[in-house]
Amino acid sequence: MSSDTPTAATPPAHARLELDRFLPYRLSVLSNRVSQAIATAYGERFGIGITEWRVIAVLGLQPGLSANQVAERTAMDKVAVSRAVAKLLERDLLQRDTHGDDRRRSVLELSEAGYKVYDEVVPLAQGFERDLLSVLDEDERAMLDRLLTKLSKKYVV
C-alpha cells in the first residue's frame, strides 16, 4: 500500500463542508429536533405524527385546501401529504369534499374530531415555541423573526 493511499483514519483530500457551521444543515437539525420534541407530546396523546400534525395545523387555519395546496404551503413532499391525508381521513379527523363545480378537485377540512385535536395541540405547540424562544431576549426574538422572514422570501415558490 503506497503512502498516498488514504486510510480509514485519513480521508482523501476533497472539498470540505463543515456541517456544524453550514446554515442549511443547522436549520434542518434544529427543525427536526424541535418537531420531534413537539411530536412526542402530541404523538403519545393523539397517535399522530409530524406530517399529520402539519396537515391538521394548516387546515385548522385554512380549511378548504386541496392536498396539493397543503403540500405547497408546508413545503412537504406530495406523497407524504397524501399518506397523511389518507390516515387522517381514515381516523375521521378530516373531511373531503368536492370543490364547487369542479368535481375533479377535492378540498379538505378538519372534522369536529380534527378540530378537537387541533384545539388541544395548538397550546402545546405554542408552549414549545415559548420555551424554545426563552433563551433569546426580546430584541433577539424580533431579529430572528426578521431574519427568518427575509431568508424565507428567497425561496418562495
Please give the model's pTM, rounded to 2 decimal places. Answer: 0.82
Element (H, E) at 69: helix 67-74
Q: What is the DSSP letter of 36?
A: H
Domain range for 47: 21-132
Q: For residues 26 and 111, what is the distance between their CA atoms, to the nearest angstrom?
A: 36
CB neighbours (10 Å) of residue 115?
16
Q: Say if 84 falls within a structural domain.
A: yes
Q: What is the DSSP letter of 142?
A: H
At residue 14, the pLDDT reads: 87
- 27-55 pLDDT, tens digit each: 999 999 999 999 998 898 999 999 999 99
Q: Say if 151 falls within a structural domain.
A: no
**Which residues are registered as beta bridge partners of 102?**
99
CB neighbours (10 Å) of residue 108?
23
How many domains is the chain built from? 1
Q: What is the CATH number of the domain that holds 33?
A: 1.10.10.10
At residue 78, the pLDDT reads: 96
12 against 73, higher pLDDT: 73
Q: Say if 65 falls within a structural domain.
A: yes
- 64-119 pLDDT, tens digit each: 999 999 999 999 999 999 999 999 999 999 999 976 676 677 899 999 999 999 99
